[in-house]
Amino acid sequence: MPRAKLSDVSLKQLVAELKKRQARLADLVVRRDELNRQIAELEAFAGLESAAPAAKRRGRPPGRKPGPKAGAGPAAGKTLADYIRAVLAKTTKAMRVLDIQKAVLAAGYPTKAKNVYGMVAAALPKAGVKKVGRGLYALKGAAKAVAAKVAAAAGRLRRKRGKFPQTAEAFILGLLGGKGATTSEINKAWTAAGRAGRADVTLSKMLKAGKVNREKLKEGKGSTYTAA
């Protein structure tokens, strides 16, 4: 059966095929690194066997080859999952994939792969890792305790956001008074009061609810808001 021409394939089909291949990439990279590790072990073993007779002649103990100490590098037999477990076992906090990747590389995981992030993400289940929050991971044995800490921290953040003497709308109406205020003036007062983000979302809701009036500035960006 003749292959379809690229010009006959729809954009939707191309995107679907690209996603399918990207999904396989991380697994293939992990498999490739594992094969490279096994090859390194076999090469090291073969090198030791061939060097044994020469070692006797030069006075070195049989089976000993000059170079790195035994157990160093890929020949140590540690997989990426082993490195991930070791990294997470050293902390009582949840970690993001990017942080795990950096810690694994800092611990000496040998790889020349460009997509180490994808490799780490794919190896998390093999390492016995569990998701304990949005983008946060921990070892299964400590997952319950770590998840409780994550939930408690999220609760503290939510409580901090609500500690204001006025609601967001009351705060804005107080700024407007009788003269009104520009978008820039409102946002400066909003930030100075310690409120997160900008006042734009609240202003939009108040405008739709008919609580404020808006008039675009004749010069520059922004608008002037007055109480309705």
Residue 71 pLDDT? 41
Given 120, 151, 182, the domain boundary residue is: 151
- Do the domain assignments include residue 140? yes
Residue 210 lies in a domain: yes
Q: Is residue 2, in this structure, part of any structural domain at all?
A: no
140 shares a domain with 44 = yes
Q: Confirm if 209 and 168 have CB atoms less than 8 A apart.
A: no
1, part of any domain:
no
Q: At 214, which helix (H) or strand (E)?
A: strand 212-216
Q: Is residue 163 part of a domain?
A: no
Q: Which residue has the tokens 């044995």?
A: 141
Residue 161 counted as domain residue? no
pLDDT given for residue 159 in this prediction: 47
Alpha helix ranges (H) inside the chain: 11-58, 80-89, 97-106, 116-123, 143-161, 168-176, 183-192, 200-208
pTM of the model: 0.38
Please say whether the beta carbons of 172 and 206 come within 8 A. yes
Domain with residue 181: its CATH number is 1.10.10
User: What is the predicted pLDDT for the residue at 44?
Assistant: 60
Residue 141 and residue 39 in one domain = yes
On whether both 146 and 173 belong to a single domain, the answer is: no
Q: Map residue 133 onto helix, strand or coil.
A: strand
- What is the number of domains present in the chain? 2
Let me know whether 63 and 146 are in one domain: yes
Q: What is the pLDDT of residue 194?
A: 81
Q: Do 106 and 137 share a domain, yes or no?
A: yes
Which ranges of the chain have pLDDT less than 50?
48, 50-52, 54-57, 67-75, 159-160
Has residue 159 been placed in a domain? no
User: What's the rounded Cα separation, in Å, for the pair 83 and 100?
Assistant: 9
Last residue of a domain, one of 91, 119, 151: 151
Same domain (yes/no): 182, 223: yes
Q: Of 126, 151, 176, which residue constitutes the final position of a domain?
A: 151
116-123 and 80-89 helices cross at what angle (nearest 10)?
80
Is 94 found in the same domain as 132? yes
Structural domain boundaries enclosing 217: 168-227
Regarding whether 21 and 94 lie in a shared domain, the answer is yes
Q: With pLDDT > 70 as the criterion, what percentage of the chain qualifies?
A: 74
pLDDT digits (tens, 9 = 90+) for 12-30: 787 788 777 777 777 777 7
